[in-house]
Amino acid sequence: MGGYVPYSRITAILFRMVLKVWAYSGLVLVFCFLLYYMYGGIFAILLLFFAVTGILYQVQDSLLYYPELPSHSRVYVPIPPTFNLPYENVITRSADGVQIHIQKIDNENVPTIVFFHGNAGNMGHRLQNCVGLYHNLHCNILLVEYRGYGLSEGSPSEEGLYLDAKTAIDYLYTRSDINHSEIIVFGRSLGGAVAIDVAVREEYANKIWCLVVENTFTSIPDMAKLLLGWRMLQYFPLIFYKNKFLSNHKVKQLRVPTLFISGMADGLVPPRMMSELHNRCNSIRKQLLQIPSGTHNETWQIQGYYHSLAVFLQSCRLKNIRQEYDIKVGSEKVQGDSLWNNVQTI
């Protein structure tokens, strides 16, 4: 048998469904009202917290990287011949295809310093320092321009800077005119965090002779707490930091000879951070050099700076000779070994 369902019956079924939906919707609305009444303040604070941290996360790069300070730093990079230094202009590409600008200050059959600069300006602003390194240490100098700085392409980021550091080391190993057994990685301020990262990577640690870091920090979260002074930052998990540069954790993995240079008059990075990095460092050959009148960017101008660097490098060289040939050199051995694990002041 067949037939049509009466219209009145359909209407009644729909009416009952509407009533049920209305009833349940009413209960949900009452529940939401009560929840907001009781916990609305907490929800509002949480929403504000996530909004503020989201904004801070997005602007962190502009708070850390200053490639355009001073002005025109992205279009004009001073060149070594300005200071009578021979050089070679190099353009290479990192593993992710970003074009990196490098200046190689040339010497012959000598150690090579890979120079990672701070967070502002470009590599040309470090040339006066390079004059002292070149003439006092008699070395090649490879000045690395991070992505987004100077004439390099791209935009700066933590992982990007790490890639640029590896690109610089890889480039040196394509050169037959470089003494690959004496490659020195040097980093100042932000560059110190970059230098530490490449030095602890297993595939690069064996390519590096020694590491020198100057006036660098323990981590970006530590610097944020210090500079902003917000007590709540100590409760922020690391996920809220776009850039971390966790050198305080990485130094525990260091095995290469390491010199920590600390300007005790540094008004930006507290000298205690350099002491902490030195104490945490697990290299059996490490030294903390404290320079009482050294400031954040001008420690290299203090008398005795280059001599201390030269002594450190000579100690590394003598230690390598003893390891390779098992030679004991009497008083020289005592003098050389006394440098390691010590704190020195000039």
Rg of the chain over all Cα atoms, to the nearest angstrom: 29
Report the distance separating Cα 34 and Cα 53, nearest Å. 28
296 in catalytic set: yes
Tallying the residues shown for the chain, one arrives at 346
* Among 106, 157, 170, 296, the one annotated catalytic: 296
**Token output for 302:** 């203090």
Q: Are strands 87-93 and 99-105 parallel, antiparallel or unpaired?
A: antiparallel
Beta strands in the chain (DSSP E): 87-93, 99-105, 112-116, 140-144, 183-188, 210-214, 258-263, 286-291, 343-345
**DSSP result, 191-213:** HHHHHHHHHHSHHHHTT-SEEEE
Given 73, 189, 283, 308, which residue is catalytic? 189
Q: How far apart are CA 78 and CA 142, in angstroms?
A: 15
Distance CA 157, CA 278 (A): 26
CA-based nearest residue to 271, from 214, 312, 219: 214
Give CA separation, 294 vs 99, 192, 346, in Å.
Answer: 35, 16, 10
Check 266, 278, 283, 308 and give the catalytic one.
266
Under a CB-based contact definition with an 8 Å cutoff, are residues 90 and 150 in contact?
no
Kindly give the pairing relationship between strand 99-105 and strand 140-144. Answer: antiparallel
Task: Please indicate whether residue 135 is annotated as part of the active site.
Answer: no
Angle between helix 190-200 and helix 158-172 axes, rounded to 10 deg = 60
Based on the residue annotation, tell me whether 266 is a catalytic residue of this protein: yes
CA atoms of 223 and 210, how far apart (whole Å): 26
Q: Which residues are catalytic?
A: 189, 266, 296
